[in-house]
């Protein structure tokens, strides 16, 4: 009887440790998006990526990430980010990485991450002032903000928010 209890206890402990390792390994996600996929919000910016919908009733699913101003004063999107060398991190391209997932599966997956970072290319106008030529990308810490179906963002002015 004691042997059974000890074996069951050891199995439970190993299962819990394995589950914690998986959670620990999946606490951070780095997502690469195009530098035109940013929109302004109230005291924040939103980054997003779009994936064609698996559900035939919809054209696409958009996934949004909030980048806060960190206060009440206006800040440019570029000033809120950190210039990085993209070769120093592991990142995913959401269009290829998540294409086989349903909208609900991807929403649940993104909701579980503790830290999500958005990475994009620095526009050419900002690269001129960049002293380190190996750092051609910029990164922001974000909060996952949810998903919407069939939303198409247009930019009438052609303005890239990172260029501000």
- Give tens-digit pLDDT for 33-51: 998 889 888 888 999 999 9
- Is 131 part of any domain? yes
- Is 124 part of any domain? yes
pLDDT of residue 30: 97
- Is 16 part of any domain? no
pLDDT of residue 17: 41
- Is 59 part of any domain? yes
pLDDT along the chain (164 residues), means of 10: 56 43 66 90 89 88 90 83 91 93 92 94 72 79 90 69 62
**Nearest alpha carbon to residue 151 among 63, 32, 47:** 63
Q: Specify the number of domains making up the chain.
A: 1
3-state secondary structure of 119: strand
- Is 77 part of any domain? yes
- Is 23 part of any domain? no
- Is 11 part of any domain? no
- Is 7 part of any domain? no
Q: How far apart are CA 102 and CA 98, in angstroms?
A: 8
Own/partner contacts of 67-71, CB < 8 Å, gap of 24 or more, are 67/118, 67/140, 67/141, 67/142, 68/43, 68/44, 68/143, 69/43, 69/44
What is the span of the domain harbouring residue 46? 28-163
Look at strands 137-149 and 115-121 and give their pairing. Answer: antiparallel
């Amino acid at each position: 009887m004691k042997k059974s209890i000890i074996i069951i206890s050891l199995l439970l402990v190993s299962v819990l440790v394995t589950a914690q390792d998986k959670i620990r390994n999946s606490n951070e996600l780095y997502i690469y998006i195009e530098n035109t996929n940013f929109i302004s919000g109230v005291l924040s910016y939103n980054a997003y990526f779009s994936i064609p919908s698996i559900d035939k009733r919809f054209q696409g699913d958009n996934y949004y990430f909030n980048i806060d101003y960190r206060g009440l004063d206006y800040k440019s999107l570029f000033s809120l980010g950190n210039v990085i060398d993209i070769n120093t991190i592991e990142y995913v391209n959401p269009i290829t990485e998540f294409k086989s997932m349903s909208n609900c599966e991807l929403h649940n997956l993104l909701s579980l991450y503790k830290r999500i970072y958005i990475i994009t290319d620095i526009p050419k106008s900002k690269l001129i002032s960049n002293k380190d030529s190996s750092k051609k990308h910029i990164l922001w810490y974000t909060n996952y903000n949810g998903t919407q179906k069939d939303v198409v963002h247009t930019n009438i002015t052609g303005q890239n928010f990172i260029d501000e």
